[in-house]
Chains A and B, each alone.
Chain A
Amino acid sequence: MDHASILVLAKGLTMAIGGFAPALAIGRLVAKAMESIGRNPEATDKLFVPMLLGAAFAEAIAIYSLVVVFTLN
Protein backbone atom coordinates (compact mmCIF):
# COMPACT_ATOMS: atom_id res chain seq x y z
CA MET A 1 0.00 0.00 0.00
CA ASP A 2 1.41 3.36 -0.89
CA HIS A 3 1.42 6.53 1.14
CA ALA A 4 -1.61 8.12 -0.51
CA SER A 5 -3.99 5.20 0.04
CA ILE A 6 -2.98 4.72 3.66
CA LEU A 7 -3.46 8.46 4.17
CA VAL A 8 -7.02 8.32 2.83
CA LEU A 9 -7.77 5.28 4.94
CA ALA A 10 -6.34 6.87 8.07
CA LYS A 11 -8.28 10.10 7.64
CA GLY A 12 -11.54 8.29 7.07
CA LEU A 13 -11.13 5.88 9.96
CA THR A 14 -10.01 8.62 12.35
CA MET A 15 -13.11 10.65 11.73
CA ALA A 16 -15.45 7.67 11.74
CA ILE A 17 -14.20 6.15 14.99
CA GLY A 18 -13.64 9.51 16.61
CA GLY A 19 -17.13 10.74 15.80
CA PHE A 20 -18.98 7.71 17.03
CA ALA A 21 -18.81 8.16 20.80
CA PRO A 22 -19.50 11.94 20.81
CA ALA A 23 -22.57 11.39 18.64
CA LEU A 24 -23.82 8.76 21.08
CA ALA A 25 -23.12 11.05 24.02
CA ILE A 26 -24.93 14.02 22.52
CA GLY A 27 -27.86 11.82 21.58
CA ARG A 28 -28.27 10.53 25.13
CA LEU A 29 -27.82 13.99 26.60
CA VAL A 30 -30.44 15.64 24.42
CA ALA A 31 -32.78 12.68 24.90
CA LYS A 32 -32.65 13.17 28.66
CA ALA A 33 -33.24 16.88 28.20
CA MET A 34 -36.25 16.18 25.96
CA GLU A 35 -37.62 13.82 28.55
CA SER A 36 -37.26 16.42 31.29
CA ILE A 37 -38.94 19.05 29.14
CA GLY A 38 -41.75 16.63 28.46
CA ARG A 39 -42.31 16.09 32.16
CA ASN A 40 -42.05 19.75 33.06
CA PRO A 41 -42.53 22.13 30.15
CA GLU A 42 -41.97 25.20 32.31
CA ALA A 43 -38.37 24.22 32.93
CA THR A 44 -37.47 24.57 29.25
CA ASP A 45 -35.61 27.86 29.63
CA LYS A 46 -33.62 26.61 32.58
CA LEU A 47 -32.65 23.42 30.80
CA PHE A 48 -31.71 24.89 27.46
CA VAL A 49 -28.40 26.54 28.28
CA PRO A 50 -26.93 23.67 30.34
CA MET A 51 -27.95 21.24 27.62
CA LEU A 52 -26.16 23.30 24.97
CA LEU A 53 -23.12 23.56 27.18
CA GLY A 54 -23.01 19.81 27.71
CA ALA A 55 -23.46 19.17 24.01
CA ALA A 56 -20.58 21.52 23.19
CA PHE A 57 -18.30 19.66 25.59
CA ALA A 58 -19.21 16.31 24.05
CA GLU A 59 -18.77 17.72 20.58
CA ALA A 60 -15.29 18.96 21.43
CA ILE A 61 -14.04 15.36 21.42
CA ALA A 62 -15.23 14.93 17.85
CA ILE A 63 -13.52 18.21 16.99
CA TYR A 64 -10.25 16.88 18.41
CA SER A 65 -10.37 13.97 15.96
CA LEU A 66 -11.21 16.42 13.16
CA VAL A 67 -8.09 18.42 14.01
CA VAL A 68 -6.05 15.20 13.86
CA VAL A 69 -7.49 14.58 10.37
CA PHE A 70 -6.43 18.06 9.30
CA THR A 71 -2.90 17.55 10.55
CA LEU A 72 -2.36 14.22 8.79
CA ASN A 73 -0.64 14.64 5.44
Chain B
Amino acid sequence: MHIPTLAPEVIFHIGKLPVTNTILNTWIAIAIFLIIGLLLRKRINLKPGKLQNFWEYFLEILMGYFDQVTGDRKKTLRFMPIVGSVFFFILLSNWLGLLPGTGSITIGHEMLLRPANTDLNLTVAMALSSVVISHLFGLFTVGFFTHINKFIQIGTLVKSLRKGPIAIFTALIEMVVGVIEIISEVAKVLSLSLRLFGNIFAGEVLISVISALIPFLLPTPFMMLELLVGLIQAAVFTMLTLVYLTVMTTKPHGEEAHEAHN
Protein backbone atom coordinates (compact mmCIF):
# COMPACT_ATOMS: atom_id res chain seq x y z
CA MET B 1 0.00 0.00 0.00
CA HIS B 2 1.52 3.22 -1.08
CA ILE B 3 0.25 6.18 0.90
CA PRO B 4 1.44 9.40 -0.72
CA THR B 5 4.08 11.22 1.29
CA LEU B 6 3.72 14.84 2.33
CA ALA B 7 6.47 15.91 -0.03
CA PRO B 8 5.98 15.12 -3.70
CA GLU B 9 8.41 12.67 -5.26
CA VAL B 10 11.00 13.80 -7.79
CA ILE B 11 10.68 11.99 -11.11
CA PHE B 12 13.52 13.39 -13.18
CA HIS B 13 15.78 16.40 -13.41
CA ILE B 14 15.98 19.02 -16.12
CA GLY B 15 19.54 20.17 -15.72
CA LYS B 16 19.63 21.00 -12.02
CA LEU B 17 15.89 21.53 -11.63
CA PRO B 18 13.98 18.62 -10.07
CA VAL B 19 10.65 17.82 -11.67
CA THR B 20 8.12 16.25 -9.33
CA ASN B 21 4.99 14.30 -10.18
CA THR B 22 2.77 17.16 -9.10
CA ILE B 23 4.54 19.52 -11.49
CA LEU B 24 3.72 17.07 -14.29
CA ASN B 25 0.03 17.36 -13.41
CA THR B 26 0.30 21.14 -13.34
CA TRP B 27 1.80 21.12 -16.82
CA ILE B 28 -0.97 18.86 -18.08
CA ALA B 29 -3.61 21.24 -16.69
CA ILE B 30 -1.84 24.23 -18.26
CA ALA B 31 -1.61 22.39 -21.59
CA ILE B 32 -5.34 21.65 -21.52
CA PHE B 33 -6.16 25.29 -20.84
CA LEU B 34 -3.79 26.48 -23.55
CA ILE B 35 -5.40 24.22 -26.13
CA ILE B 36 -8.94 25.23 -25.16
CA GLY B 37 -7.94 28.88 -25.08
CA LEU B 38 -6.33 28.81 -28.52
CA LEU B 39 -9.29 26.94 -29.98
CA LEU B 40 -11.72 29.46 -28.50
CA ARG B 41 -9.67 32.39 -29.69
CA LYS B 42 -9.78 31.35 -33.32
CA ARG B 43 -13.52 30.97 -33.29
CA ILE B 44 -14.85 33.88 -31.27
CA ASN B 45 -17.92 35.18 -32.96
CA LEU B 46 -20.93 37.29 -32.14
CA LYS B 47 -23.03 34.23 -32.85
CA PRO B 48 -21.38 31.71 -30.56
CA GLY B 49 -20.57 28.19 -31.69
CA LYS B 50 -20.86 25.19 -29.39
CA LEU B 51 -17.56 25.51 -27.53
CA GLN B 52 -17.95 29.23 -26.96
CA ASN B 53 -21.53 28.76 -25.82
CA PHE B 54 -20.44 26.10 -23.34
CA TRP B 55 -17.83 28.28 -21.71
CA GLU B 56 -20.00 31.38 -21.80
CA TYR B 57 -22.65 29.50 -19.84
CA PHE B 58 -20.19 28.72 -17.05
CA LEU B 59 -18.78 32.21 -17.13
CA GLU B 60 -22.25 33.69 -16.70
CA ILE B 61 -22.94 31.49 -13.68
CA LEU B 62 -19.57 32.43 -12.16
CA MET B 63 -20.09 36.12 -12.75
CA GLY B 64 -23.49 35.86 -11.09
CA TYR B 65 -21.90 34.46 -7.94
CA PHE B 66 -19.07 36.97 -7.99
CA ASP B 67 -21.54 39.84 -8.34
CA GLN B 68 -23.06 38.79 -5.05
CA VAL B 69 -19.70 39.38 -3.37
CA THR B 70 -18.47 42.51 -5.10
CA GLY B 71 -21.87 44.11 -5.65
CA ASP B 72 -20.77 45.72 -8.89
CA ARG B 73 -20.44 44.24 -12.37
CA LYS B 74 -17.51 46.47 -13.29
CA LYS B 75 -15.52 45.29 -10.30
CA THR B 76 -16.30 41.68 -11.12
CA LEU B 77 -15.06 42.13 -14.66
CA ARG B 78 -11.92 43.77 -13.33
CA PHE B 79 -11.11 40.91 -10.98
CA MET B 80 -12.30 38.17 -13.31
CA PRO B 81 -8.94 37.35 -14.94
CA ILE B 82 -7.31 36.45 -11.65
CA VAL B 83 -10.24 34.98 -9.82
CA GLY B 84 -11.62 33.08 -12.80
CA SER B 85 -8.26 31.54 -13.64
CA VAL B 86 -7.72 30.48 -10.04
CA PHE B 87 -11.14 28.84 -9.98
CA PHE B 88 -10.77 26.91 -13.23
CA PHE B 89 -7.20 25.90 -12.54
CA ILE B 90 -7.92 24.53 -9.06
CA LEU B 91 -11.07 22.81 -10.30
CA LEU B 92 -9.30 21.14 -13.20
CA SER B 93 -6.30 20.00 -11.18
CA ASN B 94 -8.56 18.58 -8.47
CA TRP B 95 -10.66 16.67 -10.96
CA LEU B 96 -7.66 15.48 -12.96
CA GLY B 97 -6.63 13.62 -9.82
CA LEU B 98 -9.62 11.32 -10.22
CA LEU B 99 -8.83 10.09 -13.71
CA PRO B 100 -7.61 6.49 -13.95
CA GLY B 101 -3.99 7.35 -14.71
CA THR B 102 -3.06 9.39 -11.67
CA GLY B 103 -1.82 7.31 -8.78
CA SER B 104 -1.63 4.02 -10.64
CA ILE B 105 0.98 4.55 -13.37
CA THR B 106 4.28 4.10 -11.58
CA ILE B 107 7.89 4.83 -12.44
CA GLY B 108 10.03 2.55 -10.34
CA HIS B 109 8.34 2.73 -6.95
CA GLU B 110 6.73 6.15 -7.25
CA MET B 111 3.61 7.32 -8.98
CA LEU B 112 4.07 9.23 -12.19
CA LEU B 113 1.13 11.57 -11.76
CA ARG B 114 -0.20 13.03 -8.54
CA PRO B 115 -2.95 15.63 -8.03
CA ALA B 116 -1.34 19.02 -8.28
CA ASN B 117 -2.84 20.46 -5.12
CA THR B 118 -1.36 17.74 -2.94
CA ASP B 119 1.84 19.74 -3.20
CA LEU B 120 2.12 22.29 -0.41
CA ASN B 121 4.44 24.36 -2.62
CA LEU B 122 1.68 24.94 -5.15
CA THR B 123 -1.00 25.89 -2.63
CA VAL B 124 1.27 28.22 -0.70
CA ALA B 125 2.35 29.83 -3.97
CA MET B 126 -1.25 30.39 -5.01
CA ALA B 127 -2.30 31.69 -1.61
CA LEU B 128 0.71 34.02 -1.40
CA SER B 129 0.08 35.37 -4.90
CA SER B 130 -3.61 35.93 -4.13
CA VAL B 131 -2.88 37.92 -0.99
CA VAL B 132 -0.04 39.92 -2.58
CA ILE B 133 -2.22 40.67 -5.61
CA SER B 134 -5.02 41.86 -3.36
CA HIS B 135 -2.57 44.23 -1.67
CA LEU B 136 -1.33 45.49 -5.03
CA PHE B 137 -4.88 46.08 -6.22
CA GLY B 138 -5.54 47.93 -2.99
CA LEU B 139 -2.44 50.09 -3.42
CA PHE B 140 -3.38 51.05 -6.93
CA THR B 141 -7.09 51.56 -6.30
CA VAL B 142 -7.37 53.48 -3.05
CA GLY B 143 -3.94 55.05 -3.16
CA PHE B 144 -0.73 54.43 -1.26
CA PHE B 145 -1.41 56.36 1.94
CA THR B 146 -5.00 55.22 2.39
CA HIS B 147 -3.91 51.62 2.00
CA ILE B 148 -1.01 51.89 4.44
CA ASN B 149 -3.33 53.71 6.81
CA LYS B 150 -5.45 50.61 7.10
CA PHE B 151 -2.57 48.83 8.77
CA ILE B 152 -0.33 51.41 10.42
CA GLN B 153 -2.92 53.95 11.40
CA ILE B 154 -0.74 57.01 11.63
CA GLY B 155 -3.07 59.14 9.51
CA THR B 156 -5.90 58.53 11.94
CA LEU B 157 -3.63 59.47 14.82
CA VAL B 158 -2.59 62.72 13.15
CA LYS B 159 -6.16 63.68 12.38
CA SER B 160 -7.31 62.91 15.88
CA LEU B 161 -4.67 65.15 17.44
CA ARG B 162 -6.94 68.06 16.58
CA LYS B 163 -10.02 66.64 18.16
CA GLY B 164 -9.20 66.03 21.77
CA PRO B 165 -8.15 63.36 24.27
CA ILE B 166 -10.90 60.79 23.65
CA ALA B 167 -10.18 60.78 19.94
CA ILE B 168 -6.44 60.38 20.62
CA PHE B 169 -7.14 57.43 22.90
CA THR B 170 -9.31 55.79 20.26
CA ALA B 171 -6.64 56.40 17.64
CA LEU B 172 -4.01 54.71 19.80
CA ILE B 173 -6.22 51.66 20.21
CA GLU B 174 -6.76 51.62 16.46
CA MET B 175 -3.01 51.54 15.96
CA VAL B 176 -2.88 48.26 17.87
CA VAL B 177 -5.77 46.96 15.77
CA GLY B 178 -3.79 47.87 12.67
CA VAL B 179 -0.87 45.74 13.80
CA ILE B 180 -3.23 42.84 14.44
CA GLU B 181 -4.50 43.27 10.88
CA ILE B 182 -0.95 42.72 9.62
CA ILE B 183 -0.79 39.46 11.52
CA SER B 184 -4.13 38.46 10.09
CA GLU B 185 -2.75 38.89 6.57
CA VAL B 186 -0.19 36.19 7.33
CA ALA B 187 -2.99 34.04 8.76
CA LYS B 188 -4.89 34.49 5.50
CA VAL B 189 -2.03 33.01 3.49
CA LEU B 190 -1.65 30.09 5.90
CA SER B 191 -5.34 29.28 6.07
CA LEU B 192 -5.89 29.50 2.31
CA SER B 193 -2.99 27.21 1.50
CA LEU B 194 -3.54 24.70 4.29
CA ARG B 195 -7.23 24.40 3.65
CA LEU B 196 -6.75 23.48 -0.01
CA PHE B 197 -3.73 21.27 0.64
CA GLY B 198 -5.33 19.43 3.56
CA ASN B 199 -8.57 18.69 1.76
CA ILE B 200 -7.04 17.39 -1.44
CA PHE B 201 -4.20 15.52 0.25
CA ALA B 202 -6.58 13.85 2.70
CA GLY B 203 -8.80 12.81 -0.22
CA GLU B 204 -5.78 11.33 -2.01
CA VAL B 205 -4.71 9.38 1.09
CA LEU B 206 -8.27 8.16 1.60
CA ILE B 207 -8.60 6.90 -1.93
CA SER B 208 -5.18 5.20 -1.83
CA VAL B 209 -6.04 3.40 1.40
CA ILE B 210 -9.49 2.30 0.23
CA SER B 211 -8.17 1.15 -3.13
CA ALA B 212 -5.53 -0.90 -1.38
CA LEU B 213 -8.10 -2.56 0.87
CA ILE B 214 -11.09 -3.29 -1.41
CA PRO B 215 -10.48 -2.08 -4.95
CA PHE B 216 -13.69 -3.52 -6.37
CA LEU B 217 -16.68 -1.20 -5.82
CA LEU B 218 -15.91 0.50 -2.57
CA PRO B 219 -13.81 3.41 -3.89
CA THR B 220 -16.79 4.71 -5.90
CA PRO B 221 -18.63 6.69 -3.18
CA PHE B 222 -15.28 8.07 -2.01
CA MET B 223 -14.43 9.22 -5.50
CA MET B 224 -17.79 10.94 -5.79
CA LEU B 225 -17.10 12.65 -2.47
CA GLU B 226 -13.75 13.68 -3.88
CA LEU B 227 -15.49 15.23 -6.91
CA LEU B 228 -17.67 17.27 -4.60
CA VAL B 229 -14.79 18.24 -2.33
CA GLY B 230 -12.70 19.34 -5.32
CA LEU B 231 -15.48 21.62 -6.52
CA ILE B 232 -16.18 23.06 -3.07
CA GLN B 233 -12.52 23.75 -2.32
CA ALA B 234 -12.07 25.52 -5.65
CA ALA B 235 -15.16 27.61 -4.92
CA VAL B 236 -14.01 28.46 -1.39
CA PHE B 237 -10.51 29.50 -2.49
CA THR B 238 -11.98 31.64 -5.26
CA MET B 239 -14.61 33.27 -3.06
CA LEU B 240 -12.05 34.08 -0.39
CA THR B 241 -9.67 35.61 -2.92
CA LEU B 242 -12.55 37.67 -4.28
CA VAL B 243 -13.51 38.83 -0.79
CA TYR B 244 -9.93 39.88 -0.04
CA LEU B 245 -9.73 41.76 -3.33
CA THR B 246 -13.04 43.51 -2.69
CA VAL B 247 -12.15 44.45 0.88
CA MET B 248 -8.78 45.86 -0.14
CA THR B 249 -10.23 47.99 -2.91
CA THR B 250 -12.91 49.67 -0.84
CA LYS B 251 -12.24 52.87 1.00
CA PRO B 252 -12.33 52.57 4.79
CA HIS B 253 -15.57 53.35 6.55
CA GLY B 254 -14.90 56.64 8.27
CA GLU B 255 -13.61 58.34 5.16
CA GLU B 256 -16.87 57.81 3.32
CA ALA B 257 -18.79 59.43 6.15
CA HIS B 258 -16.30 62.30 6.11
CA GLU B 259 -16.66 62.79 2.39
CA ALA B 260 -20.43 62.70 2.69
CA HIS B 261 -20.19 65.29 5.48
CA ASN B 262 -18.12 67.66 3.38
Contacts and interface: CB of A to CB of B under 8 A. Distances in A.
Nearest to B243: A53
Interface string A17-29: 0000000000000
A63 B232 CA distance: 14
SS of B interface (majority): helix
Interface string B177-198: 0000000000000010011011
Interface residues of A, number: 13
Contacts, number: 34
B208 interface: no
Contacts of A43: none
A21 B102 CA distance: 34
A70 B194 contact: no
Nearest to A67: B198
Interface residues of B, number: 15
Contacts of B235: 49, 52-53, 56
Q: Could you say which of B65, B198, B232, B239 has the most chain A C-beta atoms within 10 Å of its C-beta?
A: B198
Contacts of B232: 52, 56
Interface of B: 6, 65, 191, 194-195, 197-199, 201-202, 232-233, 235-236, 239
Interface of A: 49, 52-53, 56-57, 59-60, 63-64, 66-67, 70-71
